[in-house]
Structure 1
Amino acid sequence: MTASDVSHEERDAMVRASLETHGDSGITPRHTLFYFYGDDEGLGELNEVARRAGYITRGDAESLVLETTMPVDAASFAPVSSMMQSWAAAFQLDYDGWECAVVTN
């Protein structure tokens, strides 16, 4: 099974499971990154939309990274994950997923 065979919801759950192995419930806000790949035009359009939505953006002609601080527990993260997938579809980009810092209390 390749990464493309696994839904974003399943990948999100795998990241959260990994956090849990380190004692992280995901409820504490933390630095979170979202990765997109595609053509310069689509990335430029996403860059504008993401900045207006409050994300810090960085990238080049082939990729864009969105940065924010947020909780990543399932209830908080599901709507954001859905939005990232919608943005990828709207701008014809590949959404490669996310990563975040481990936070334990």
Structure 2
Amino acid sequence: MTDDAVPHEERDAMVRASLAEHGDSGITPRHTLFYFYGAGDHDDLNEVARRAGFLTRGQDDCTILETTMAVDQTSFDPVSAMMQSWAAAFQLDYDGWECAVVTN
């Protein structure tokens, strides 16, 4: 899990910087995963996420949301904010995201 002292906006920027180091601008849609942990309401998170078009998986105290999306800052910032609000609403820890490097 990641360091909670670092805001998600900074963590998101660090992932995008790592992608850029590999020649990836983030604009090409790709498989992206979002991680939630804790003893909160995973069932409600799954329901809301499915309605929003995400695939969901996980068990016990872990939920992983999957989608295909661009991860450049303009595309990603609203999704990151939504993940953080879902974590707060369902009393879960949003641990961040990952995706594949895509270069053209």
TM-score (norm 1): 0.95
- Alignment partner, residue 74 of structure 1: 73
CA offsets, 1:21-78, max 9 Å, x none?
A: 0000000000000000122x51111001001111000000110000000000000000
Alpha-carbon distance in structure 2 between the residues aligned to 1:44 and 1:37: 12
Write the mapping of 1:1-105 to structure 2, written as runs, cut at 5 A.
3-39=3-39, 42-105=41-104
| Equivalent position amino acid for 2:73 in 1 | A
Extract unaligned runs of 5+ from structure 2.
Answer: none
* Counterparts of 1:5 and 1:63, CA distance in 2: 21
Q: Which runs of 5+ in 1 are unaligned?
A: none
Letter in 1 for 2:79: V
CA root-mean-square deviation: 1.0
- In 2, Cα distance between the equivalents of 1:94 and 1:4? 9
* Secondary structure of the structure 2 residue equivalent to 1:75: helix
Higher helix share: 1
Structure 2 distance, partners of 1:26, 1:84, is 18
Q: How many percent identity over aligned positions?
A: 76
Give secondary structure in 2 for the equivalent of 1:12: helix
Partner SS, residue 33 of structure 2? strand
Q: CA deviation at 1:5?
A: 1.1
